[in-house]
Amino acid sequence: MTGKTLAQKVLERTSGRSGLAVGTIVEATPDFSYSHDYAAWAIDAFEKMGATRVHRPDRIAVCFDHGIPPNSAKDANSLKRVREFVRRHGFAQFYEAGTGVAHQVMVEQGWIVPGSLSVCNDSHACSGGSVGALALAVGETEVGFLWAVGRLWFRVPATRKMVLHGRLRKGVYAKDLMLEIARQLGVLGALYEVLEFQGDALPALSVSERFTLCNMATEVGAKGGVFPYDAVTAQFVQGRAKLPFEPVHSDPDAQYCAEMQFDLGTLEPMVALPGREDSGVSVTEVAGQPIDQVFIGSCTNARADDLHIAADILRGRKVHPNVRLIVTPASRQAELDALKNGDIEALVEAGATLMPSGCGVCAGTHQGVIADGERCLSTSNRNMPGRMGNKNADILLCSPATAAASALAGCIADPRLVT
Amino acid sequence: MALATIRGTAAVFGDHVSADVVLPARHSFLQPEQMAEQVLMDLGPEANRKVREHPIIIAGEAFGYGTGRESPCRALRAAGVRAVIAKSFSRLFFRNALNNGIVVLQCPALASQPVTDGDEIELALAEGWARWKGETFAIAPFTDVVAKIVEAGSLINYGRQLLAAEKA
């Protein structure tokens, strides 16, 4: 009998089955689920199924983040409908627009806990792996089905071992590592797999950095990304966890479908070129190229530590006159932290436009849209054509440091050269 | 209900058509007929026209990858798409399409053929094959609960059946 991976163990517990081989389809009951504005579609599905009772509302939360504050009466009415449904069915928690991007809020507020199965109708649900959860994305109809029926199907995933060695050098961040991972794997290179991060680099990686890595697991086609529960996780969830939990670890003899090794000390700042997340190159190859807008935001890279990195570069300086800088904190808590320590002040004084915490600019739903032929350098997770609302504009991805250095220079710039 | 046989003409697309290209987020809340007017418009009016005219999409790698929004699949369904055959899919597109009554088949052998817009395609889901110009290609069967969702025609239909059975 070979050992089991974390993903196998979590799916065994939540499906009530044992000895689950990779590829088996199981029906499981998640420990927690959450949704955002698109809960409107889940409500549609719930009602069309003829359901009247929500299963385990004490394990469901909703956080508005996509189109907030709403642009139109139609959008406002849709949010109102969700609000009323959430109250009527007694969901555990409702977070009003402006609280933050749901993925960030659910980790920050302790709803996603180690060893749990968490689901959300959003591709970046995989972010919850940053605290040792098996955090999976599903569709909106599936969330309605979960509310109505109490379970969802999952294919037991293979797990890929991602071994991280060494320490990131100055000016190089978790985002650069993730863009390198995407470059090596391609946009579906880890299809259906769970990326399990291991190695001697882990104790030095914060939950925020782990979040950046797990968040973009979906950008290589993976089902999830996960960091094993350790002292860093323990410290983070202490006093924060809202649900009971038991950490789960892969067995030492667990089967992995593949293994990749990364020496963090050799990485450079990366920039993903327009069109695909796997098109990363060293910043040195594209330094000096023109940009029109810089976006520091999204669930990938807009927590307090990210804002601090950007503020340190821009403090006492001005954003280049040819560039617009938009900053959207990942959550209100991140914004508050950055307000109290002066980072927001430094960014705004430098010329940043501060936006309400949410998904808008990254998702291309509203605000921050770029013009035809323009180029936006972004700390977000996606750069396919049209992602930010205009198919005739280009999006490049990078770390908050590269974004801030470039906003200062007025063109793509290497953050290691900022003095 | 037995798994259907699907016959129809093909609309052919290349590699890496993301779900954000299929339907941008700003169109997520449109009515079905308006969604059908917008589907794949980021690739131009011709792409929109052919997907509304031909119910079977043949595509390359990673069709519908990226965003987990379900609206791109709703838009394809509203445009009359009944099946997508591609070299590969992201897991969310696979789930969302099946849940909205679009059959999703990973079949690199067929997706690599020089299929052109308007070619006749036949899919026999129960028997496990697809046919194009007299050539037959094996397709993997749906199993377990996934087969039940496909048989029911959508996840909403399947949920409705389950809840009705609970009440009975």
CB contact under 8 A, A384 and B88: no
- Are residues A276 and A255 both part of a single domain? no
- Are residues A239 and A347 both part of a single domain? no
Q: Residue A163 — φ and ψ, nearest 5°? A: -95, 120
Q: Is residue A132 part of a domain?
A: yes
CB contact under 8 A, A221 and B62: yes
Q: Both ends of chain A: CA-CA distance in Å? A: 57
- Are residues A215 and A69 both part of a single domain? yes
Q: Is residue A1 part of a domain?
A: no
Return the closest-CA partner of residue A63 out of A303, A412, A393, A332.
Answer: A332
The domain boundary, picked from A229, A262, A295, lies at: A262
- Are residues A163 and A234 both part of a single domain? yes
The domain boundary, picked from A245, A262, A279, lies at: A262
Length of chain B: 168
Q: Is residue A158 part of a domain?
A: yes
Instruction: Among B144, B145, B159, select the one facing A49 at the smallest CB separation.
Output: B159
pLDDT of residue B4: 76
How far apart, in Å, are the Cα atoms of A138 and each of A75, A146, A150, A154? 22, 10, 14, 10
Residue range(s) defining the domain that contains residue A330: 271-417
Between A301 and B5, the more confident residue is A301
Q: Which domains does chain B have, with CATH numbers?
A: 5-167 (3.20.19.10)
Q: Looking at the 3D structure of chain A, how many domains does it have? A: 2
- Are residues A238 and A284 both part of a single domain? no
- Are residues A110 and A250 both part of a single domain? yes
Question: Region B31-44: what's the mean pLDDT?
Answer: 96
pLDDT of residue A419: 82
DSSP state string for B91-119: HHHHHHHHHTT-EEEE-HHHHTS---TT-
Q: Both ends of chain B: CA-CA distance in Å? A: 20
Question: Region B36-59: what's the mean pLDDT?
Answer: 97
Q: A181-214 burial by CB neighbour count: b if 16+ within 10 A, else e?
A: bbbebbbbbbbbbbbbbbbebbeebebbbbbbbb
pLDDT of residue A360: 87
- Are residues A201 and A57 both part of a single domain? yes
On whether any CB of chain A is under 8 Å from the CB of B147, the answer is: no
The domain boundary, picked from A243, A262, A281, lies at: A262
Question: Which CATH number covers residue A101?
Answer: 3.30.499.10
pLDDT tens digits, A203-253: 999 999 999 999 999 999 999 999 999 999 999 999 999 999 999 999 999
Q: Is residue A278 part of a domain?
A: yes
- Are residues A36 and A138 both part of a single domain? yes
- Percentage of residues of chain B with pLDDT beyond 70: 98
Report angle CA B134, B137, B138 to the nearest 5 degrees. Answer: 145
- Give the dihedral of Cα atoms A61, A66, A71, A77; nearest 10 deg: -30
- Are residues A95 and A233 both part of a single domain? yes
d(CA A200, CA A345): 36
pLDDT of residue B1: 43
pLDDT of residue A2: 85
Q: What is this model's ipTM? A: 0.92
Q: Which residue of A has its CA nearest to B93?
A: A139
pTM above 0.90, yes or no: yes
CB contact under 8 A, A49 and B42: no
Interface test with B, best of A122, A187, A195 (most B CBs within 10 A): A187
List, run by run, the mean pLDDT of 10-residue segments along chain A (419 residues): 93 97 97 97 98 98 96 95 98 98 98 98 97 97 98 97 98 98 95 97 98 97 97 98 98 97 98 96 98 98 98 98 98 98 98 95 87 97 90 96 98 96
pLDDT of residue B3: 67
- Are residues A413 and A309 both part of a single domain? yes
- Are residues A213 and A136 both part of a single domain? yes
Interface test with A, best of B95, B98, B142, B146 (most A CBs within 10 A): B95
Residues of A in contact with B154 (CB under 8 A): 141
DSSP state of A122: S
pLDDT tens digits, B138-156: 999 899 999 999 999 999 9
pLDDT tens digits, B50-104: 999 999 999 999 999 988 899 999 999 999 999 999 999 999 999 999 999 999 9
Q: Is residue A298 part of a domain?
A: yes
Q: Which residue of A has its CA nearest to B67?
A: A123
pLDDT of residue A366: 76
- Are residues A312 and A219 both part of a single domain? no
The CB density around residue B80, as the number of other CB atoms within 10 Å, is 14
Q: Please provide the average confidence, as pLDDT, over all residues in chain B.
A: 94
